[in-house]
Amino acid sequence: MAAPLLVRGARQLLTLRESRGSRGGTLEERLGIIADGSLLIEDGRIAEAGVWRRIGNLAKVRGIEQVDVSGCLVMPGFVDGLADLFAGAVSVPLLRKRVRALLANGTTTACYRQAGNPRQLRQVHELGLEIHTAPEEGDEPNLPLSDWRNEVAFAWRDGTPLGTGFDGKTQLSASMPAAIALACRNAPVEEAILAATVCGARRLGLAEQLGALVPGYQADFVVLDIPQYTEIPYHLGENRVRAVYKRGVKVYERGEPYWHGES
């Protein structure tokens, strides 16, 4: 069980609180932006989300571990609409490398088509990535990374999840921020962010657990070294992910020699 954690002082905290099960409000309002935002995490779930001056004065935050994210953007972990981790002959080191690539780019949950064996599924889970099989019915995800060379081939569909199509074999980019940046050719950045988070959770039937940072939801979030969400498209080709947390546990931090689940 994850220890209590206080994440404090985000330049922007995207809670996406207005996007759960509804398309009402402006796109910016649906992102649920909190300036100088903080998160209180208990038992791997969001207990409180709000401005630092309120969260920091709660009696229950005294003495717990704190993570200072001053100047950073904090948002829900990405839900990759399609990442075929088990494509081809997959060895243990290769599977670990594929999982690492997704975590390092801020993905905390991924959808896959090709099934792995129980040992592989357990290894993925131990490394800190949550994975689910693709639904048999429903729209295929937007895959901008697959068609980035062909402007005509990519048709944006609002409300459809965004995915990388990463398989570690023919599609080598596992970057959801890059997918957001490329999707912005056809859609506003706010829409692309929704497609990379709540839309993916909704497609998996997990809209009440993932894709937002509100009380009761899993504490899956990514810390980006940028001050605001509008800058995501301007860093295509750069990885601005500073840290990734799954259920309140750090599963990736830039510069760490070893990652969660590996010695």
User: What residue spans define the domains of the chain?
Assistant: 79-210
Give the separation between CA 206 and CA 164, rounded to whole angstroms: 20
Q: What is the pLDDT along the chain (263 residues), one digit of tens a residue?
A: 678 999 999 999 999 987 654 455 788 888 999 999 999 999 999 999 999 999 999 999 999 999 999 999 999 999 999 998 998 889 999 999 999 999 999 999 999 988 888 999 999 999 999 999 988 776 789 988 876 666 555 667 888 999 999 999 889 999 999 999 999 988 999 999 999 999 999 999 999 999 999 999 999 999 999 999 999 999 998 999 999 999 999 999 998 655 454 44
Q: pTM score, two decimals?
A: 0.92
Strand 107-112 with 130-133, pairing:
parallel
User: Rounded distance, CA 251 to CA 133, Å?
Assistant: 22
Angle at 175 between CA 150 and CA 195, to 5 degrees: 75
Contact 222, 241 (CB under 8 A): yes
- Please identify which residue in the block is written with the tokens 């409300």: 159
Length of the chain: 263
- Which class for 65: exposed (0-12), middle (13-18), buried (19 or more C-beta within 10 A)? exposed
To the nearest 10°, report the CA torsion of 84, 89, 92, 98: -30
Q: Nearest-CA neighbor of 16 among 35, 25, 29, 5?
A: 29
**Beta strand pairing call for 33-42 and 221-224:** unpaired
